[in-house]
Structure 1
Amino acid sequence: MKPSRPTGSRRESLCEKGEGRLSLDHSALARQTSLDLRDGLALDEWQRIGLQIFRISDSSTWWLGDWLDYGSRHYPDRYRRAIEETGLDYQTLRNYAWVARKFPPRRRRAALSFHHHMEVAALPEHEQDAWLREAESRGWSRNQLRQQIRKPSARPAESAVVQVRVGIPPDQLQRWEEAAGRAQRDLLGWILDILNEAARSTVALTEAVQPARPVPLE
């Protein structure tokens, strides 16, 4: 039985419609290392299959992120198991989980790719939403979004950008990841929490031991 074709000039765009169902057209047979296409495909059928493949590919990144986030909350050795199962490198897996935690499903925009979300994940939530809304309305690619964010005038004046590079032994990094996961925080957010708490404690301690100022005699 041959698959039905779209009527007229209508095209089924998964990216535009944001459909939840993810599957390939019956004209395509997907295998682990190949894709077999039926002979005689019309242009719109071939194009529709390409959109389906794109959506599945992009969604699989979200799936991995959510899978890793689940593991971070349930299994102590989450990343080691993930690496063994997927063959992906540690940094890639950690990035996927970080972005997934930054964007709960209700805040993810189906019209934008996972990598659009990754570009703004380090920003405050209100800036994330503003940039993604702008990217969707203007049809920006991931690279165009990155270029806009990096413009000097694009960053709020009150925001300070500090880049710190620290060499961390792998076993220590794993302990930090474990602690962040137990606190249900991404690694960067957990580190900032620890630093802010240390700063508050230091200031409070300094103020507590600071000698009282002498009262001038009248």
Structure 2
Amino acid sequence: MTIENALIMDGAPVRVTETGLCIDSELTFEQWCDVGRKVGRVARTSLFLVGDWLIYGQNRWNNGERFEKMPEEQRQRYVEAMQETGLELKTLLDAAYVARNVPYEQRRAHLTFEHHKTVAKVKDAHEREEWLKKADKQGLSTRRLRKSIMIGHVARDHEMRSQGAFQPRETHLLWIQRMVQWWAKVKDDPAHDEMGREELEAVLKDFEPVLDIIAQIRERSRNAVSYLEPDDNAI
């Protein structure tokens, strides 16, 4: 199947390519709505397709074991096949994680991949299915679903506004912007050019807490994959 045939548009003058949607002539409102429904369906499905494909490879050629436990030659072939998708490793990790932890029969067509990713950490199959059912019937956002799982019931409006992990965090951007503005003012100041070594080293010492923050963020970035549990990160 070519990419152009991936979506059937029932005679609408629309072509699907690897880089987007080409609309060759005017659509009626009904045709436009139909295209939107089908594009949305493909978007909601795409990562499930990748995840199921990855899990099939593990089941077919490695008795269900993750690819890291494959023999070297077999693992290399599997990694090369993964690379054929053109997707980043984190995307593949997430796709396989959700496909493994949320079975096909539990998935709900009207929920996004992110909804399913949110319930993937729920170990009990019945509980996981109940959360998906509630999210589907009540139209829960992924944020509300995540909060609801955390507190054990569908989060009410006042609970969504309460202090906790899901409150907006104080942004660092304001402080960075102030620092950039400060440097823009002083870097070309003749008085700044005349500063001696000791004065400049004193300024550097003042910046040591900032350098420490940067080092800590870099360390966390190296260790972070997603909000998934560490043992579940691997494909």
TM-score band by shorter chain is 0.5 to 0.7
Shift of 1:109: 1.2
Tell me the residue number matched to 2:117.
Answer: 118
Shift of 1:71: 1.6
**Mapping 1:1-218, distance limit 5 Å:** 23-25=7-9, 26-27=11-12, 28-73=14-59, 74=61, 76=70, 77=75, 80-123=79-122, 124-150=124-150, 152-154=151-153, 187-188=231-232
- Kindly provide the amino acid, as one letter, of the partner of residue 61 in structure 1: L
Question: TM-score, length-normalised on structure 2?
Answer: 0.52
C-alpha distance in 2, partners of 1:67/1:80? Answer: 13
Q: Alpha-carbon deviations, 1:180-208, whole Å to 9, x = none?
A: xxxxxx95399xxxxxxxxxxxxxxxxxx
Q: Which has the higher contact order (CA 8 A, sep 6+)?
A: 2
Question: CA distance change for structure 1 residues 44 and 141 in 2, over 3 Å: closer, same or farther?
Answer: farther
C-alpha distance in 1, partners of 2:41/2:32? Answer: 15
- Kindly provide the amino acid, as one letter, of the partner of residue 101 in structure 1: R
- Kindly provide the amino acid, as one letter, of the partner of residue 56 in structure 1: V
Tell me the residue number matched to 2:209.
Answer: none
Structure 2 unaligned spans of 5+: 1-5, 63-69, 155-219, 224-229
**Runs of 4+ more than 6 Å apart:** none
Tell me the residue number matched to 1:194.
Answer: none
C-alpha distance in 1, partners of 2:86/2:26? Answer: 37
Shift of 1:138: 0.7
Shift of 1:103: 2.2
Indicate the structure with greater helix content.
2
Question: CA distance change for structure 1 residues 82 and 90 in 2, over 3 Å: closer, same or farther?
Answer: farther
RMSD: 3.1
- Kindly provide the amino acid, as one letter, of the partner of residue 142 in structure 1: T
Question: TM-score, length-normalised on structure 1?
Answer: 0.55
C-alpha contact 1:148 1:154 (8 A) present in aligned 2: yes
C-alpha contact 1:24 1:53 (8 A) present in aligned 2: no
Aligned residues: 141
- Kindly provide the amino acid, as one letter, of the partner of residue 188 in structure 1: D
Q: Alpha-carbon deviations, 1:108-137, whole Å to 9, x = none?
A: 111212221110011121221111111111
Percent identity at matched positions?
33
SS in 2 for 1:86: coil
Question: CA distance change for structure 1 residues 32 and 87 in 2, over 3 Å: closer, same or farther?
Answer: closer
Question: CA distance change for structure 1 residues 189 and 30 in 2, over 3 Å: closer, same or farther?
Answer: closer
